[in-house]
Chain A
């Protein structure tokens, strides 16, 4: 689970004294450019990007593309089927526009997903790097990590939100606590391998401090598996949040989330199946898009983990 060795070699050259030289800077960009070019040739990655863009655009432009307040009740417009009376996605049992609710739900899902991913990127890296690099910390940190990972993910998240109370913030917190150990484990695995590489030993011998070695020599090369992990994590986070709010443990209604729209629509499964189907499909598009992105990133960034095409 470590970065490609080719990149590692390139990083040694990067550490030359002429760091600020423009030519070196230009060369440094090229591996990135190459990666981006390869990503844009990856069909599944592009499909994932397309699917994610739909949701991302919807979430970002929620204010612009919806006319009605997602929480406004209008009982005389109850249970309009999609397309009926000018409601693109129909209405729910309170006459609220599902288009509006699903689009605002997208914004909330993405907000929660991004937050969980950001917290994982920071704390997963910190814990993973500390455990992988400092042997003395390894045992203690990893035992706690293993214990947290022994809990079934959703069950632990449910228990944490049960204790803290249902809210958007607590859902983010609970999902982060559940997933950070998994991220830390992946970072640790890369760091352990990189720590023993000759160029790192050389940096140690040259007298570089721990911080500098981690920041300049180890972590940049541990990024590839981390990025892959984070893209899948985004998918899990969106899915788990929907599960939590489906069970009534996420954002509190009337705030629309895909999970709580579906929970409310459950009672009207027969009369108004669109109430569950539309947010369900939105959720599926998001998760599938992120999974495809993750597959693409893994194929390009970490060829050794590739599912052979």
Chain B
């Protein structure tokens, strides 16, 4: 068991190393003078010099690289140009907002996607199955910002059930959080629900055809028991790996969704940073978000090993 944990952590180290290298290199790809790009149109040469010094752009490449990694080891990602605060500090405030939203979307996805996938598999080739698959197809084809806009129009403008945007912290007011987060979470979840329903259905169909399921039924076990205990537990194993993808999709999707619903999370932060050419913020935010996702994937790997004895024994 510990072998699996150790292995997935060690396996992620080179990925993280290269991710940080790419993030570092990205900012050096700015065509022309990065300081001028950051400063905008009207600046004096002294101001340019100041920006260059501030970002360490006046130093040789190797020194910049060494400083970047030195900073990383101390959790120092530089300062946001726009807000003047530490990138790390801002991220630690904003990231939990996005994570909470993503988890809400994940819960919706699991509740609706998983259940509809299982039902579709059990009722294969019936109207229920076909309807589920049609809805899944719509789910994976509607852009989340379009869905978000349509929901604002219907639930906020016409029906007046929910606010058009804004954000209330989960800790301050859970009901308020639900009111402000439900539309964004739904618009994020639809794509993933579609994906999950399709995957669950095909995995379930495969499992249901196995011999041991037939044996279980032949023994005279009640149908529900066969489905829940024998089929589902085994079908869930490959589905665990999808959870990592779903969280990654949520965080990607949150970029637009948060801007749409004015939620002060990572997505909105990064979009604003990008539009204002706040490069240290873009760089740090990208790196931290990706690191978070790598950690999620390590957890998914471990969960996978825990659930599937074959993986556990093979690897340890």
The one of A143, A162, A269 in contact with B18, judged by C-beta atoms closer than 8 angstroms, is A143
The reply to whether A150 and B294 contact each other, CB–CB distance below 8 Å, is yes
CA distance A107 to B31 in the complex (A): 29
Number of residues from B at the complex interface, CB < 8 A: 55
- Which residues of chain B are within 8 angstroms of A239 by Cβ–Cβ distance? 143
**B146 to A, closest residue via Cβ:** A280
* B255 neighbours in A (Cβ, 8 Å): 154-155, 158, 243, 247
Interface SS of chain A: helix
Binary per-residue interface labels of chain A (238-249) against chain B in the complex, 1 for a CB within 8 Å, 0 otherwise: 010011001111
User: For A269, what are the chain B residues with a Cβ–Cβ distance below 8 Å?
Assistant: 149, 152-153, 157
Point out the residues of chain A lying under 8 angstroms from B149, CB to CB: 262, 266, 269, 276, 280
Q: When the two chains form their complex, are residues A307 and B198 in contact, meaning their CB atoms are under 8 A apart?
A: yes
Question: In the bound complex, what is the Cα–Cα distance between A161 and B293 (angstroms)?
Answer: 22
Which parts of A263-288 form the interface with B (CB within 8 Å)? 266, 269-270, 273, 276-277, 280, 283-284, 287-288
Residues 97-156 (chain B) with a chain A CB within 8 angstroms: 124-125, 137-138, 140-143, 145-146, 149-150, 152-153
Q: Is the CB of B251 within 8 A of A152?
A: yes
Chain A residue with minimal CB distance to B201?
A307
Q: Is B19 in contact with A283, judged by CB distance below 8 angstroms?
A: no
Encoded as 1 (CB less than 8 Å from any A CB) or 0, chain B from 253 to 297 comes to 101100100000000001101110101001100100110011001
Q: Indicate whether A165 sits within 8 Å of B138 (C-beta atoms), given known contacts A152-B290, A159-B26, A307-B202.
A: no
Given that A154-B255, A163-B30 are contacting pairs, would A262 and B282 also be in contact in the complex, using a CB cutoff of 8 Å?
no
Q: Looking at the complex, which one of B18, B31, B141, B282 makes contact with A164 (CB distance below 8 Å)?
A: B31
CB–CB B137/A288 < 8 A: yes
Choose among B21, B273, B274, B290 the residue that contacts A151 (Cβ–Cβ < 8 A).
B290
CB distance from A283 to the nearest CB of B (A): 6
B277 touches A243 (CB 8 A): no
Query: Known interface pairs A155-B255, A262-B145, A288-B141. Does A280 touch B150 (Cβ–Cβ under 8 Å)?
Result: yes
Neighbouring A residues of B275 by C-beta, 8 Å = 247-248
Any A CB within 8 A of the CB of B300:
no
Residues of A close to B142: CB separation below 8 A: 284, 287
The one of A146, A235, A280, A291 in contact with B15, judged by C-beta atoms closer than 8 angstroms, is A146
With A163-B29, A239-B143 known as contacts, the answer to whether A144 contacts B18 (CB < 8 A) is: yes
Interface size counted on chain A using CB atoms at 8 A: 46
For A106, what are the chain B residues with a Cβ–Cβ distance below 8 Å? none
Q: How far is the CA of A155 from the CA of B251 in the complex (A)?
A: 9
Q: Nearest 10 A-B pairs (CB), nearest first?
A: A147-B18, A288-B141, A280-B146, A162-B274, A152-B252, A154-B252, A287-B141, A307-B202, A308-B205, A147-B19
Instruction: Give 8 CB contacts A-B under 8 Å.
Output: A147-B22, A155-B286, A155-B290, A158-B255, A159-B283, A162-B273, A163-B279, A309-B125
The residues of A with any CB-CB pair to B shorter than 8 Å are 143-144, 146-148, 150-156, 158-165, 235, 239, 242-243, 246-249, 262, 266, 269-270, 273, 276-277, 280, 283-284, 287-288, 291-292, 306-309
Interface residues of chain B, those whose CB is within 8 Å of chain A, are 14-16, 18-19, 21-22, 26-27, 29-31, 124-125, 137-138, 140-143, 145-146, 149-150, 152-153, 157, 198, 201-202, 205-206, 248-249, 251-253, 255-256, 259, 270-271, 273-275, 277, 279, 282-283, 286, 289-290, 293-294, 297
